[in-house]
Amino acid sequence: METVDARYLLVFFLFESGMYPSQIAAHIHKTKRAVNYMISNFHERMESGKMMRIYWDDIKNLLGNN
């Protein structure tokens, strides 16, 4: 579960930084469809996992994206 959460976080941060799903897919060795699924279901996963919200906030603070 931690690995999947980390992948969702990575995909969403890359997407927010301006990368296209096809570019993200090539870098993480997943299909574009899988990346689009992660992007569209990111907020649902955040709501269901307390630790994912904590990781999200920590990473945003480290990157300076308050």
Q: What's the structural domain count of the chain?
A: 1
DSSP structure string for the chain: -HHHHHHHHHHHHHHHTT--HHHHHHHHT--HHHHHHHHHTHHHHHHH-HHHHHHHHHHHHHHT--
Nearest to 14 by CA among 47, 45, 36: 36
Tell me how far apart the alpha carbons of residues 64 and 49 are, in angstroms, rounded to a whole number: 23
User: What is the per-residue pLDDT across 1-38, written as a single tens digit (0 to 9) for each?
Assistant: 889 999 999 999 999 999 999 999 999 999 999 999 99
Grade residue 66 by pLDDT with cuts at 50, 70 and 90.
low
Domain that includes residue 22, residue range: 2-63
Residue 33: CB atoms within 10 A of its CB come to: 10
Q: Record the pTM.
A: 0.87
